[in-house]
Amino acid sequence: MPWALPETDDALLRLAKGYPYAAPAGSYLYRDGASAALVGALEPALIEGRVPVIAHGSNRAPEQLHRKFGHLSGDASAIPVTRAWLAGYDVVYSAHVTRYGALSATLHEAPGTRVQVYVTWLTETQLPRMHATEIGAGNYGYGRMSGIGLTVEGGPALAEAFCYLAVHGCLCDPERAGTPLALAAVPAEARVHRAVDQEGALTVLHQAHHGGLALDAMILAHIKDVERRRRLVAALQATCVPWSVPGFELLLR
For residues 51-60, average pLDDT:
98
Q: Count other Cβ atoms within 10 Å, centred on residue 159.
A: 12
pLDDT in tens, 5-39: 999 999 999 999 999 999 999 999 999 999 999 99
Backbone angles phi, psi at 127, to 5 degrees: -60, -45
The answer on pLDDT for 137 being more than 80 is no
pLDDT in tens, 77-97: 999 999 999 999 999 999 999
**Global confidence as pTM:** 0.96
- Alpha-carbon distance of 13 to 103, in angstroms, equals 13
pLDDT for the residue numbered 136: 78
pLDDT in tens, 142-187: 999 999 999 999 999 999 999 999 988 999 999 998 999 999 999 9
User: In order of start, what are the domains of the chain with their CATH numbers?
Assistant: 9-252 (3.10.490.10)
Give the pairing of strands 103-122 and 248-252.
unpaired
Degrees, nearest 5: CA angle 181-25-15: 55
